[in-house]
Structure 1
Amino acid sequence: METDGFKPDIVAYNTVIDCLCKCGLLKEALHLFSEVKVKGNRPNIITYNCLILAMFNSGQQKEATKLLNEMKGNNISLNIVAYNILVDAFCKEGLIFEAVDTVHTMRKQGLKPNVVTYTILVDAYCKKGMIFEAKDIVDKMRKQGIEPDVVTYGILVDGLCKAGHIEVAKEIFRELSVNGLKPDVYTYTVIINGFYTVGLPDEACQLFRSMEDNGCSPNSCCYNVMIQGLLRNSYTSKATEVLTEMVSEGFLQIYALPPYFLTSYYDMIYSGWKCNFQYIDQFTPECSNLCWCSFISSELDKQVLHISC
């Protein structure tokens, strides 16, 4: 740029620094950051946010804190994005109380937490098993006039299902439609898995079949959950139907088989599923060998072998 007589401004530098950070090239981003200062450009909040986020994501908490202090020393006030980065960093370290304290600090600075802030906290509480604290956060959002989005609901539904609170999860799931939101494939998948976990395969199937009617198509992960759930509830024929449907929808491609799908396929083999073995031809050679080995092993397990010496 400079060789063509164009002097990059801070917007141009920020664009490149952001791209470098997102590509995992933090060292190069920091080198460019130094160049910004040497050439007389003043880094702004966007510059610092990009670098601080990249540092936290790469586990460089001390360096991120130093940069944060540098930013404050340059009289650059934190914005909502910067505070959300800090809240997320604390939550990922399991420091929920520090994250909540950061939200209080945000308010004292005159900044209102947004849906991203609260969703980060909901996710952190769910991962800690503090499910009803997470639900309280969602209730608090509504009282403050901040509507949870489909991501917030999906995280909460997942947490409730994993904690075995399937009835509460169903209630929250219904709230999405009431509030004008459409469940995404992630939300459908987690609650379907929740139904299977508590032994409600028929409800899982019913919800799965309603997805298309509600404008949401299953993806390969959702099919995987369905197949595993059906097999673990001894619905082998239905599992075969779902696999056939999955193939017809183009989710089983040569050399592009999702690794997690193998678990479902192995489950089918061990469950005594012997039909539709033509699908093995669509696997990579390595996958085919593994599947045949699993089949042979399952057959041997069914036999009583008498070895005479």
Structure 2
Amino acid sequence: MFDEMTERGYQPNLIVYSIMLKGLCKTGNTGRAVRFLRLMESRGFEPNIVAYNTILDCLCKNGLLKEALDLFSEVKVKGIRPDIFTYSCLIHGMCNFGQQEEAKKLLNEMVDNNISLDIVTYNILIDALCKEGTISKAVEIVDTMRKQGIEPNVVTYNTLVDAHCKEGMVSEAEDIVDAIIKRGIEPNVVTHNALINGHCLQNEMDKARRVFNLMIEKGCAPNIVTYSTMINGYCKAKRLDEAMELFHEISQKGPIPDTVTYNTLMQGMFQLGKVSTACELFRKMLASGQVPDIVTCTILLDGLCKTGHIEEALELFQAMRNRGLGLDIVPYTILIDGLCKAGHIEVAKELFHQLSDNGLKPDVYAYCIMINGLCKEGLPDEAYRMFGSMGDNDCLPNSCCYNVMIRGFLQNSYTSKATQLLTEMVGKGFSADIFTATLFMDLIVHSNKSILL
């Protein structure tokens, strides 16, 4: 339409150009948006800071930070004054790339240029510092905010509470919550969720439940994240009955359980060996209209393999491939491991060789599983050939692989080869683990002389 307008002789004004620019950025056409900016300039329209901000925001959101910084330099060279939105875009982009120190320099530049910083800009930087694990620096930024006359809001405090909880400093997080209440700021569902998660991470489920009950008493309704966090905590603490109680509660009262809730509960059931209950929950999930994702299928596959339900696991794996879920190495490795442990070595080998057909390369863990499986089936020579071929897939044996291969030799009475490989392993800076060392010690004890001589 724009091209048709210009072909008919209509000369678009700056507003039309700006609308086009915004539309291209919103639809993710970053390259076309940049070219359109250059077209504006070539036709004598000097883009204003709003137009440049549109492009900068688009570049940063698409991970093109270098290009954004180059454009930012160009803006300054042209004498166009950046505004708070310009800096916020770049600071957000830098923080996403882990460039917190550079982001702080931009903050200082804003102060030097008399641009009033707002709460959003500060919160972006505080969040990035917390995610980086530098909580003390984040606290320093909060102090700086106050000195600038900007009072932290609930988002600021939630970020700090969450960071402290994830670092195991739950009591410090609770101190922050007490402090914000004294400042007249009411904790919201995000605050309570962070505290509940902190207690769950420390396996303090009774304390997590107290926070859960307290938020309800205060009229703060739990959301699906609250319930999923509590359910996950109960599952990890092997308190499945309490996890199921909460699941039934949300099924009756709402909110609607999401994929994460189902995944969490299914994983807990499998870990406690409740295979039929987990499969029943999976059927309920399908009946509720929730679409299983790759995580759901991987949990189900892993659970079926670990509990010896190989036929069902093979059917599920085939269904995953038929659905075009874009399988990575993980589901393959899970099934190969299950097949090896169930004694289906030929099927495991076939699946292992299918990896390259599907554009995947086996990793060290996949090799370890296959080598161990072959050795358990009395095929140490084939296992050693596979061990020697790892380099062909740019995958060099690590300590685990060496130990698995050495144990395979020992278990198949290839004592001399095991000793040679042990020498090679030590030469590469690896050492025998407790299981390998125990096998060697058993051989020494039951023989007349040391096998190491």
The interval holding the TM-score normalised by the smaller chain is: 0.7 to 0.9
Matches within 5 A, 1:140-289: 140-251=179-290, 257-259=293-295, 261-273=297-309, 279-284=316-321
| Matched position secondary structure for 1:77 | coil
Distance apart, 1:248 and its partner CA: 3.1
Does the 8 A contact of 1:36 with 1:43 survive in 2?
Answer: yes
Task: Give the number of equivalent residue pairs.
Answer: 303
Does the 8 A contact of 2:166 with 2:201 survive in 1?
Answer: no
Distance apart, 1:281 and its partner CA: 4.3
Unaligned runs of 5+ in 1: none
- CA distance in structure 2 between the partners assigned to 1:31 and 1:236 by the alignment: 56
- CA distance in structure 2 between the partners assigned to 1:281 and 1:160 by the alignment: 39
- CA distance in structure 2 between the partners assigned to 1:164 and 1:90 by the alignment: 26
Distance apart, 1:55 and its partner CA: 1.2
| Matched position secondary structure for 1:283 | helix
- CA distance in structure 1 between the partners assigned to 2:377 and 2:169 by the alignment: 53
| Matched position secondary structure for 1:55 | helix
Does the 8 A contact of 2:180 with 2:186 survive in 1?
Answer: yes
Does the 8 A contact of 1:236 with 1:273 survive in 2?
Answer: no
| Matched position secondary structure for 1:237 | helix
> Is the counterpart of residue 300 in structure 1 residue 343 in structure 2?
yes
| Matched position secondary structure for 2:255 | coil
Q: Structure 1's 289 and 45: CA in aligned 2 closer, same or farther, altered over 3 A?
A: closer
Matches within 5 A, 1:11-90: 11-90=50-129
- Aligned partner of 1:105 in structure 2 is 144
Distance apart, 1:121 and its partner CA: 0.5
When the two structures are superposed, what TM-score results if normalisation uses the length of structure 2? 0.60
Matches within 5 A, 1:105-144: 105-144=144-183
Q: Structure 1's 265 and 185: CA in aligned 2 closer, same or farther, altered over 3 A?
A: farther
Q: Structure 1's 138 and 214: CA in aligned 2 closer, same or farther, altered over 3 A?
A: farther
Q: Structure 1's 9 and 180: CA in aligned 2 closer, same or farther, altered over 3 A?
A: farther
Distance apart, 1:181 and its partner CA: 3.2
Distance apart, 1:280 and its partner CA: 4.4
Which of the pair has more CA radius of gyration?
A: 2
Deviates more, 1:63-72 or 1:164-173: 63-72
Does the 8 A contact of 1:162 with 1:194 survive in 2?
Answer: yes
Cα displacement string for residues 21-58 of structure 1 (whole angstroms, at most 9, x for unaligned residues): 11111122122222322333211122112112211221
Deviates more, 1:140-149 or 1:174-183: 174-183
Cα displacement string for residues 156-207 of structure 1 (whole angstroms, at most 9, x for unaligned residues): 2111101111111112122333333332322211110111222211010111
| Matched position secondary structure for 1:182 | coil
- CA distance in structure 1 between the partners assigned to 2:183 and 2:101 by the alignment: 34
Higher relative contact order (CA 8 A, sep 6+): 1
- CA distance in structure 2 between the partners assigned to 1:170 and 1:100 by the alignment: 28
- CA distance in structure 1 between the partners assigned to 2:289 and 2:319 by the alignment: 11
Does the 8 A contact of 2:129 with 2:137 survive in 1?
Answer: yes
Distance apart, 1:290 and its partner CA: 6.0
Unaligned runs of 5+ in 2: 1-16, 18-39, 345-375, 379-453
- Letter aligned with residue 321 of structure 2: T
Distance apart, 1:267 and its partner CA: 1.7
Distance apart, 1:122 and its partner CA: 0.8
| Matched position secondary structure for 1:269 | helix
Distance apart, 1:246 and its partner CA: 2.4
When the two structures are superposed, what TM-score results if normalisation uses the length of structure 1? 0.85
| Matched position secondary structure for 1:284 | helix
Cα displacement string for residues 199-254 of structure 1 (whole angstroms, at most 9, x for unaligned residues): 2110101111211323222222221211111122232221121122223345556x
- Letter aligned with residue 166 of structure 1: M
- CA distance in structure 1 between the partners assigned to 2:377 and 2:100 by the alignment: 62
